Amino acid sequence: MIKLLKIEFKKIRTYKVFWILFGLYFVFLAAGILLAEFMINHMVNNVNQRMPIPFPHVAIYYFPDVWQNVAFFASMRYVLIFPAIIMIILITNEFTFKTIRQNVINGMSKTEFLVSKLLMILLMAVIMGIILTAGSFFIGLFHSGFTDVNLFSKGLPFMGGFFISLACYMVYAFFCGFMLRNTGMAIAIFTLYSLIIEPVIYFLFRAPFMFKNTIYTYLPVNAVIRLTEYPAIPMLKKMMGLELQNHVSIVACLIPMAYAAIMIGIVFWVMNRKDL
């Protein structure tokens, strides 16, 4: 396992595109998280101008809500698209530059090649999860101070939900990149489906004229972002009637994991029956 990861690291060590996209992901994520409270309260001010009884301003950086709020912003499809694109590029580059053939010629089996990519996904998800958890902890500590341990650890499972969301979403990208094997086409189709096609399908299934159903909850990308579907902002319940989350559902976690397992199985099946 360590040997396979070392091989992967050698491929990305001097690959500037990887590090630029990796850095942009954290820049946009940090900017979105740090500006979220300001933007939400700006909307509250606009709403209060038309309300006889004004809504109070929200505070999203206090324990234990900070865990859920940060996980929510980090799990939005417009944020997750960055690590997904990174994974697509890493996969398609193997076919573009024929490095996959070179790996096999050098003695790496097809199974080891795929396992190395899945280990890379796992490692990236772990690193991003640790950074996000540490950042959330310090943000919450700065705003809340050090109080009861149970208070700031209560929402910590949402970080686990983020890890599953990120890992599964990158597996989706891994699947798309492997099946299409062309960087531009894979990025275009994956982005188009994730950001446009599936949201349209989602709203069609939830439209008033549609028969009563819960099909939209099983759409692949929606299953990923549903793990942290709403931030911990009680005002959303008052204004929009939303049922806010208070935990990460194990059943909800199993849906994207099942999709990921099926996609991995398909990739292994195709890999062992198709020429490189």
Residue 184 lies in a domain: yes
This prediction's pTM = 0.90
Roughly how many angstroms between the first and final C-alpha of the chain, as a whole number?
23
Task: To the nearest 10°, report the CA torsion of 201, 205, 207, 212.
Answer: 180
Residue 276 lies in a domain: no
- Tell me how far CA of residue 31 lies from CA of 25, 79, 97, in angstroms: 10, 11, 35
What would the 3-class secondary structure string for 221-251 be?
HHHHHHHHCCCCCHHHHHHHCCCCCCCCCHH
Residue 166 lies in a domain: yes
The token duo for 50 is 């038309």
Rounded distance, CA 94 to CA 45, Å? 51
Close Cβ partners of 186 (under 8 Å, ≥ 6 residues apart): 88, 91, 92, 176, 177, 180
Q: pLDDT digit string (tens) for 108-163? A: 888 999 999 999 999 999 999 999 999 888 888 887 766 666 666 777 889 999 99
- Domains in the chain, number: 1
Domain residue limits at 110 = 2-271
Q: pLDDT digit string (tens) for 242-263? A: 566 778 889 999 999 999 999 9
Q: pLDDT digit string (tens) for 31-62? A: 888 887 777 766 667 766 776 666 666 778 88
**pLDDT for the residue numbered 267:** 96
